[in-house]
Amino acid sequence: MPKTSSPRALLLAAALALSASAAPAADWLLASSSPQVIPGQRFEVVVIGDGRAADWPARLPASIELPGGGPRIALELVAIGKPVAGASQRRYFARWPMEVAGVAALALAGKPSARVLLDAGAPASVAAAPGGPAATAPAAAGAAVPVAAAAAVAPTAPVAAAPAAATPVEPSGFGFHEPMYFLIGGRDPVSARFQFSFRYRIFDEQGVVAENIPVASGLYFGFTQTSLWDLQAESKPFRDSSFRPSLFYRFALDDPDKRGSLALSGGYEHESNGKEDMPSRSIDTLFVRADARLRLDESGTYLGVVPKAWTYLDREDNPDIARYRGHAELGLRLGRDDGWLLSTLIRRGTEGKMGTQYDLSYPIRRSVFSGVGAFVHLQAFKGYGETLLEYDENKEAQYRIGVSLVR
């Protein structure tokens, strides 16, 4: 007597049947030898191109789409082995997020036809047999996107040693900008320091503007708020808050063969403490920023160098701020995305006034969102410019500890 199939098995079986019967061709497709993946572990897929691409990308941005209109979870597919000249297929791998279970669709960013339905924790009996078709997710109501059988693509993209995990990528529109944390400590007075920061891609890659003017997809709006909360005073006031909206252009360069990546950005930034008259503080700047990363070993340890330079457009509220803040700063990072990470920020004014910040963090919880989690975070600051209001005050070392979400 055959064993009764579960609802999840029936769902995947239906997807397999749809994929086997569908016939229309597409430029980009996704295939998998099995619809089953294991949370927290590596999985592999085969990307099928249009046959005209001579150079396959070493990394491909993708997303996991949860059922019921849930959030899109960004991840990056990393190529396995060297590309074969003229090949229309290549094998890629990634690590399935620990906290995603059940049936979900994996899709390539900007490639609507490249989607595959996968099940985190599916019964082994549902897995596709060797040489059988791979599962696909419906591209629209009542339709499915076909993918090639596993046996047809395996010889073209042989399994090879996997490179180290790649840098997470953000969802196509809304993403994270600078570190986000909540820390407590310091002295004179004891205070909490917290920061949140986001950026938004104004023209989505799949929108009308970016499709006709591809360069427009690099235009972003950013916003960062940093606040100091006095926990020692009776009324617990906010001692100062800095608001930094910005409009900038950003593009990234990536060369895994040379173990490095580079992102460049530049634009306009306004910074203000949001107050009127005294003690009002505000500046307007034009800035350029680079974010370079060099991978040091196969475990994922990297060295990051983040210089930023600016010129002032307006500093009427604080005309001598360049003496303390200068025209540039240097950020350094050393560590791993899944381990200890040490960051340093150094700023020097035109008259030698210094401000330095050190951040040391370690992950304590994984998250479904790429580049986000929970990290125990220790921060130390010394010198000038901890806040915009106190830009000309020299602070003794301030130590705080807490939790960060983005680092």
**Cα angle 75, 76, 80; round to 5:** 140
Secondary-structure class of domain 174-406 per CATH:
mainly beta
Supply the CATH classification number for the domain 7-153. Answer: 2.60.40
Model pLDDT, residue 184:
96
Q: Do the Cβ atoms of 193 and 242 come closer than 8 Å? A: no
- The CA-based dihedral angle spanning residues 74, 76, 77, 81, taken in that order and rounded to the nearest 10 degrees: -170
Instruction: Compute the distance between CA of residue 365 and CA of residue 373 in angstroms, rounded to an integer.
Output: 6
- Would you state the pLDDT for residue 55? 65
Nearest 10 degrees: Cα torsion 140, 142, 145, 150:
140
User: What is the pLDDT, as a whole number, of residue 72?
Assistant: 78
Distance (Å, rounded) from C-alpha 120 to C-alpha 110?
24
Sign of the CA dihedral with 178 first, then 162, 115, and 51 last: positive
Is residue 17 within a helix (H) or strand (E), and if so which, with residue range? helix 7-21
pLDDT of residue 51: 54
Check if the beta carbon of residue 265 is closer than 8 Å to that of residue 252.
no
Q: Mean pLDDT in each 10-residue stretch from start to end of the chain (407 residues)?
A: 48 46 56 83 85 68 79 84 76 86 85 84 42 39 36 35 42 78 91 94 78 86 94 86 95 74 94 81 95 87 95 91 94 91 95 94 69 84 90 92 92
Looking at residue 366, what is its pLDDT?
60
Torsion on CA atoms 369, 370, 373, 379, rounded to nearest 10: -140
Tell me if 28 sits within 8 A of 113, measured CB to CB: yes
The whole-angstrom separation of Cα 252 and Cα 217 is: 12
**Cα-trace Rg, the chain:** 25
> In the structure encoding, which two tokens stand for residue 264, read together?
């460049």
Q: Domain segments of the chain: what residues?
A: 7-153, 174-406
Cα distance between residue 117 and residue 65, in whole Å: 10
Q: Residue 347: phi, psi to the nearest 5?
A: -130, 135
Residue 31: its pLDDT value, please? Answer: 86
Residues with Cβ < 8 Å from 6, sequence gap 6 or more? 123
